[in-house]
Amino acid sequence: MRQLETPTVPKGLTDSFDRLCQVVAGPVCVAVSGGGDSLALLLIAADWAQTRGRDVCALTVDHGLRPEAAGEARFVAEIAARYGIPHRTLRWESPQPGQAKARRARHQLLAAAAREAGSVVILTAHTQDDNAETFLIRARAGSGWYGLAGIQPLSLSPAEPPGVPVLLGRPLLATPRAALRDLLRTHGEDWVEDPSNENPAYERVRVRRTLAEDPALRVRILTLQERLQLLRQLQDQALANWLTADVEVRPDGALRAPLPLPPGERRERALAALIALASGRTRPLRSDALNRLAHRITRPDTLRPATLGGAIVAVRKDRLHVTAEHGLAPEQVNAIPARLAAMVTACSGHM
């Protein structure tokens, strides 16, 4: 079958792909559900890869929770084949109801497939619209400015260790969803419409409708997010610098850092990073518990060893020691330096 030409990378996206992917070895993996956003991302990524002499691999997760899922995976495989893009369907062998469980399974499957392909980055199709929706959802939940800055262009995959750390790259955060649909129409490509995207039982659907009815609100949110993102970049880069300069990983997997921890809001983020690294867990910590422990660390002479998020936090000789509450497997311990390096990369926002 004759391979079709992929759409040209839209103006402004080349730099985004370069920043997220250029120095990463191995193929660039793209998570593709069959929806318009992810299909457009796949075709744009394939064109970028061709200009850079890189390989692309499409990954589709079949959760087995909807009867249409298998057909949607075949739909993606057929489109990938027409463009000469390798494709894999990843099946959740023991599907369980619940969005959180499905999300964890999806990330585990995607990360494992990326590692098998020799890659450490997975591109996802979060758009400018997703960012605006996320702002309202987080604002309603009481998020502070750091969370309201929105979805980040690069983050550590929430897939649980062991294994090589995998990063999630989001090159389309400045691209409107409508522009991606237009690109697919221009090239005669259809896409899958998930019926849940029209179900008002989901908060994101209700928020999406609110923004569609008030375009001016969308503009105001994106303007504010742009400013908050600049502040977050400064905070995250400072955290990356601290992780690089001050955090020591011991052969047994323990982490040590000098006291005091970074000042202000960065104290809690620094502590959360150490706990995540030592415990091997990726789930967010309860903010109230993290805040209390971070405050206690400001008075190290009275701090007794404390546990949080699967880690033991203690002070010894003016240094903070963080270790796993329960013993980690040797491969998990050996992966901690790589996870630290990946965390620094994610904080820096580029590879």
Question: 127 and 101 in one domain?
Answer: yes
Percent of the chain with pLDDT over 70: 96
Question: 306 and 217 in one domain?
Answer: no
Query: Is position 155 annotated in a ligand binding site?
Result: no
Q: Give residue 23's pLDDT.
A: 67
Question: 86 and 37 in one domain?
Answer: yes
Give domain status of residue 231, yes or no: no
Query: Is position 34 annotated in a ligand binding site?
Result: yes
H/E element holding 57? strand 56-62
Tell me how far CA of residue 17 lies from CA of 49, 124, 127, 298, 327, in angstroms. Answer: 9, 12, 14, 41, 39
At 258-286, the pLDDT tens digits run 999 999 999 999 999 999 999 999 888 99
Nearest CA among 65, 78, 101 for reference residue 1: 78
At 279-337, the pLDDT tens digits run 999 888 999 999 999 999 998 888 899 999 999 999 998 899 999 999 899 999 999 99
Q: Using a CB cutoff of 8 Å and minimum separation of 24, what contacts does 4-9 make?
A: 4/82, 4/83, 4/187, 6/43, 6/44, 6/46, 6/47, 6/50, 6/83, 7/40, 7/43, 7/44, 7/47, 7/183, 7/186, 7/187, 8/47, 9/44, 9/47, 9/48, 9/51
Lowest-confidence pick of 20-24, 42-46, 130-134:
20-24
For residues 85 and 2, the model is more confident at 85
Query: Is position 37 annotated in a ligand binding site?
Result: yes
The residue written with tokens 């109230």 in the block is: 288
Question: 291 and 187 in one domain?
Answer: no
DSSP 32-79: --SSHHHHHHHHHHHHHHHHHT--EEEEEEE-SSSTTHHHHHHHHHHH
Q: Give residue 1's pLDDT.
A: 39
pLDDT confidence tier of residue 49, bands split at 50, 70 and 90: very high
Distance CA 145, CA 287 (A): 14
Q: Which of 223, 251, 280 is the last residue of a domain?
A: 223
Question: 262 and 132 in one domain?
Answer: no
CATH of the domain at 217: 3.40.50.620
Residue 268 sits at the vertex; the CA angle it makes with 270 and 159, to the nearest 5 degrees, is 65
Give domain status of residue 17, yes or no: yes
Nearest CA among 204, 305, 205 for reference residue 254: 305
Tell me how far CA of residue 69 lies from CA of 14, 62, 85, 194, 278, in angstroms. Answer: 32, 6, 20, 10, 37
| Length of the chain, in residues | 351
Tokens of 5: 């030409």
At 181-239, the pLDDT tens digits run 999 999 899 999 888 888 898 999 999 999 999 999 999 999 999 999 999 999 999 99
Q: Give residue 22's pLDDT.
A: 74
Query: Is position 47 annotated in a ligand binding site?
Result: no
Could you list the residue range(s) of the whole structural domain that residue 133 is in?
13-223
Distance CA 326, CA 278 (A): 10
pLDDT confidence tier of residue 2, bands split at 50, 70 and 90: very low
Question: 164 and 22 in one domain?
Answer: yes
Give domain status of residue 143, yes or no: yes
Question: 247 and 202 in one domain?
Answer: no
Tokens of 191: 């896409």
Tokens of 300: 């190290």
Given a cut of 90, whether residue 350 has pLDDT beyond it is no
At 336-348, the pLDDT tens digits run 999 999 999 999 8
Question: 277 and 311 in one domain?
Answer: yes
At 51-94, the pLDDT tens digits run 999 999 999 999 877 888 899 999 999 999 999 999 999 999 88
Question: 185 and 60 in one domain?
Answer: yes
Tokens of 109: 């499957």
Q: Give residue 351's pLDDT.
A: 59
Give domain status of residue 286, yes or no: yes
Q: Give residue 102's pLDDT.
A: 87
Q: Which of 196, 223, 250 is the last residue of a domain?
A: 223
Query: Is position 33 annotated in a ligand binding site?
Result: yes
Give domain status of residue 71, yes or no: yes
Tokens of 232: 């977050």
For the chain, how many structural domains are there in total? Answer: 2
DSSP 159: P
Question: 274 and 139 in one domain?
Answer: no
Tokens of 260: 């005091």
Question: 244 and 164 in one domain?
Answer: no
At 34-45, the pLDDT tens digits run 999 999 999 999
Q: What is the mean pLDDT of the chain?
A: 92
Q: Which of 223, 250, 275 is the last residue of a domain?
A: 223
